[in-house]
Amino acid sequence: MSNNFSENFLRDQICIIGKSLFDRGLTHGSTGNISAITEDGDLLITPTGCSLGRLQPDQVCKITSKNEVIGKMNPTKELFLHKAFYEKNSNRVGAVVHLHSTYSVAYSMLPNLDADNIFQPLTPYSIMLLGKVKLLPFYLPGDPKLGDVIKGVASKRSAVLLANHGPVVSGKSLESATNAIEELENTAKLSLITRGFKPNLLNENQIKETVNKFNVNWDE
């Protein structure tokens, strides 16, 4: 899917968004990675070992449609996470964001979560922006087996949470993917704050109305 945005524009946007996420503590050190598809169908992705808070446009790597790697740095070792979403959703995914955000990681460690739908319906916004979020089991960072697991769910889900690791969220654009992963982090924070307090949840009718009004893929 094309964002209808030029390569240079997307390089700048990746850096701007990366710095914003870093400055607000949603990623730290050299963790996290961002990718987007250009109007020419090439994949731009952040490099390995580089802080999103100090990333420069010319450091962003390009992967061509022929799988050629172009750039002065190597792409993140988690490139396969991004590719899994693009391969399964090429018509509706234009960007992917992966973070090691604190509340999401903390929430992924809790016992007795519903792995198929990890968040309770606390707000309509998590439903609108994320749909059902699936919890995936722990794999060592960079393990390509995780890519195979994501491929199995990427056609049905736009967001997954990797146990003891962090969220991966896809979207039509960099902006939508970023908004969604921020919503996921906020939902994890709300979930931790309210855990054990029996909060008032959205009821089935409210969930259904939200799903229908905002055309959410909810049943799969």
pLDDT computed for residue 1 by the predictor:
44
Helices (H), the chain: 7-23, 79-88, 102-108, 124-130, 144-154, 174-194, 204-213
Domains of the chain by residue range = 7-213
Catalytic residues: 78, 125
User: pLDDT tens digit string along 63-113?
Assistant: 998 889 999 899 999 999 999 999 877 678 999 999 999 999 999 999 999
pLDDT computed for residue 220 by the predictor:
66
pLDDT computed for residue 16 by the predictor:
98
Predicted structure pTM score: 0.94
Residue 121 has pLDDT above 90, yes or no: yes
User: pLDDT tens digit string along 5-33?
Assistant: 899 999 999 999 999 999 999 999 999 99
pLDDT, the chain, mean: 94
Q: Tokens 């010319």 map to which residue?
A: 58
Phi, then psi, of 162 in degrees rounded to 5: -85, 125
Residue 3 has pLDDT above 70, yes or no: no
CATH architecture of the region 7-213: 3-Layer(aba) Sandwich (3.40)
Residue 2 has pLDDT above 70, yes or no: no
